[in-house]
Chain A
Amino acid sequence: MELTLLILCGGLAVITSLMVILARNTVHSALWMVASFFFMAVLYLLLRMEFIAILQIIVYAGAIMMFIIYAIMMLNLRQETADTEPVRKSKVVGLGMLVVLFFVLLVLGVGRGIEALKGPVTDQMMEKFGHVAVLSNFLFSDYLLPFEVVSILLTAGIVGSVFLAKKGKA
């Protein structure tokens, strides 16, 4: 049951993500992205991370998608860009490589017989203390440094994008 759900939702997440980049209409792209976020949320659920799954839906499928759709509307990108480029050789080669890579990655996990190291988190621990407690405990102890550096990463992203987007002579 779980495996079926995993394969189904994983496959649908891949297909919807592909539709994001293949759709000619930007608004359609954005809507496919919402769908892809939902399927990813299911994948988190299958990993027993209900909290992350809910965050994924509230923050990404909800808030961030609203911003993206607003931006598309403000920039007036709704027109279909009907570019009928001829299929170039490089595109065919790239597609072939993609298919090969896909199957290589698919078979990578097959045939292992060795138990990998296990982290400290167990199902019982999650049951007992709740997901948020376990998650935040690790976020602010073992993973404190990356957590702090991510804040700098986000600041850098904001500063850079604001500078590149703002008008005026430069």
Chain B
Amino acid sequence: MDMLEFVVPELDFRAILPQIILAITALTVLLTGVFSREKKGPAIGFLSLAGVALSFSAVVFSGSQTVSSFSGMLTNDSFARFISMIVCVVALLTILISINYRKISPAINSGEYYCLLLFAALGMMFMGSAGNLLMVFVALETMSISIYALAGFQKQREKSIESALKYFLLGAFASGFLLYGFALVYGATGTMDIVKIGRFLNDHPLVVHSPLLLGGVALMTVGFGFKVAMFPFHMWTPDVYEGAPTSVTAFMATGVKAAAFAALIRVFYVALGSLQVDMTQIMWVIALLTMTVGNVVAIAQSNIKRMLAYSSIAHAGYLLVGFVAGGELAISGMLFYLLGYAFMNLGAFGVIALLAKKDGEYTELSDFAGLGFKYPAMGLVMAVFMFSMAGIPPTAGFMGKFYIFTAAINSGFIWLAIFGVINSVISIYYYLRVIVTMYFKEPEQDIVMLTPTGAIILALVIAAAGVLFMGILPSSVLDIARNSTTLIM
């Protein structure tokens, strides 16, 4: 019998060095957690921190080439590298928050927690650099499955279990939609390679409006829409964000959003670029509704985690404005916004995590009363994060919105930009309410005692510094973002 010749494809292992480092660290951390006698100390946390830092430097020093390797499965371009950088920043700050949070929730200080956290980060990185729909799906599942489990890590809290189960069931459902969409697109084009789909649709305009492809695109939009918390697929967000351990919520709100937007941008701009005109006609309505629903419902929330969950829906709406606008300016604006959003959201959740106690979490807005004067430093950074989310200068949130709305106006979506600004004004109400409660409300019960450690202080300082740096000197970060809009076509 003849033998099939085995041709080894080009395997560029240097391109996946950051991911390899993360995988090795995750497994090391898992084993260390099992074999170490010291169960209370922060050693595992610092070990994972070192791994992420190493991975971060591998991303930064990986050069500036634009190549695809592993038979097109992996695209190593500047866009993918920027997303990897955001993921590393998110993972670093989350680990710093978790090192402090372990006192409230001992389960967090286990090898399993950090292992799953690093696996999720690895999945996020691959989502940013996936060059094939199959790879997008596998990376998305790696990220999601890790986070389903992370959401249920506080097993004694019913809400945490509810959050994990809800996220798992709805997430599995959304994955089904996404996979069905991929299958239909594969049926219409005959390939799963993102670049090849783009070329095929360019050469065959008849396929572009075939029902098979359009059905696939619709189902894919549902799948991605679920992950970025886009209206009308946002219903899970408040329950899941409220129930999950605060450190995990911070990770979910920032990392998942960045990774899902990265995959959305690559699939829709590169593979389905021929459909962009048709897509914007639907997406601008969705962007408008996502912003408005998030902001309006957030006003009515008294629990700060739920409020931030609705605010994350609103921020997904702002990012979708950039997605509708399209073009290099919009991509760089979205990248800038994703990084800024990571800093401010992780900072805000870090403060909430700091407030938690063994006997329960203090997540009601009234728990913040009087905290501003009792703990001036914490009040100050929280105020910075809230100002940034509301989009008040000189913060990252303001500059990010500025770039995205500018891109929208340049692309002719003036009304969308106007509605975006109106939405920002609405959002100021509930963000400022947190600051007002901190400084001008008399506490009804005893003020919570805070026990900050070095790790959480470092996390909050980094987050606040990042927010202010990107707000005051935005050009340095924007330059990197501008150079990161290269997508392999």
A interface vs B, CB < 8 Å?
104-105, 107-119, 125, 128-130, 133-134, 137, 140-146, 149-150, 152-153, 155-157, 159-164, 169-170
Contacts and interface: CB of A to CB of B under 8 A. Distances in A.
B70 interface: yes
Contacts of B200: 116-117
Given A107-B211, A115-B190, A142-B73, 20 more contacts: A116-B189, A116-B190, A117-B190, A117-B196, A129-B1, A137-B6, A141-B6, A141-B7, A142-B71, A144-B73, A149-B142, A152-B123, A152-B142, A153-B138, A153-B141, A155-B119, A156-B115, A156-B142, A163-B149, A170-B106
Given A137-B6, A143-B73, A160 B191 contact: no
Interface string B97-128: 00000000011001010011001101100100
Q: How large is the interface on B (under 10, 10 to 19, 20 to 34, 35 or more residues)?
A: 35 or more
Nearest to A125: B4
Given A105-B215, A109-B212, A164 B191 contact: no
A111 B211 contact: yes
Interface of B: 1-4, 6-9, 11, 16, 23, 27, 30, 70-71, 73-74, 106-107, 110, 112, 115-116, 119-120, 122-123, 126, 132, 134-135, 138-139, 141-142, 145-146, 148-150, 152-156, 164, 180, 184, 187-191, 196, 200, 204, 206-207, 210-212, 215
A164 B168 CA distance: 13
A115 to B, nearest CB: 8
15 contacts: A105-B215, A109-B187, A112-B188, A117-B196, A137-B6, A143-B73, A143-B134, A144-B9, A145-B71, A146-B73, A159-B30, A159-B116, A160-B116, A169-B156, A170-B107
B135 A145 contact: yes
A169 B155 CA distance: 8
A158 B27 CA distance: 13
A125 B4 CA distance: 9
A134 B364 CA distance: 59
B145 A118 contact: no
A119 B135 CA distance: 17
A121 to B, nearest CB: 11
Contacts of A144: 9, 11, 70-71, 73
CB-based closest 7 A-B pairs: A160-B149, A116-B190, A117-B190, A170-B107, A142-B71, A145-B70, A108-B215
A90 to B, nearest CB: 12
Contacts of A170: 106-107, 153-156
Contact of A159 (B115, B132, B211): B115
Nearest to B2: A128
B215 A129 contact: no
B187 A146 contact: no
B211 A152 contact: no
A161 B135 CA distance: 23
